[in-house]
Amino acid sequence: MGNFASADMIRTKVDAWRDAGELDADQYGVELAYFRQRYFANGAFTHHFTHLHLRPADQPVIVQSVIEGGNSDPRDCLLTVLMIVWRFRNNLFHGAKWNYQLQDQLTNFTHANAILMRLLEKHGHLDS
């Protein structure tokens, strides 16, 4: 992203991977299942979902439809996990995470890092 990442740039990148046949959204099924369990239960969004603080550029309608299970489009599924990771990043550095000493965030960050590492392995320039 050239040090200028944004929700719109993430969407553009996901669309480019889709158009090039390089989406591989099924590789993120474990993380998507975790996010669905965390953010949607008993037919409703959990209180955790509100704390993502999705903004209009974060594709909230798509994220909601994927998390509640009504949308299984591979492009939208990958976009959803990346938007959640994007919100983790923004909320960590600009939000209220420090107010409660990152309580209950280890699993979130573990899943987010797994997503990022897989993306780097597939699309990045990792040097061994």
Rounded to 5 degrees, φ, ψ at 96 are -100, 10
State how far the Cα of 10 lies from the Cα of 43, in Å rounded to an integer. Answer: 29
In angstroms, the Cα distances linking 110 to 8, 51, 73, 100 are 24, 18, 24, 18
Beta bridge pairs of residue 44: 41
pLDDT per residue, tens digit, the chain (128 aa), is 667 778 999 999 999 999 999 988 999 999 999 999 999 999 999 998 998 889 999 999 999 999 999 999 999 999 999 999 999 877 776 665 555 555 677 788 888 888 889 988 888 764 54
pLDDT at position 45 is 97
The structural domains of the chain, with segments of one domain joined by +, span 11-123
The model's pTM is 0.85
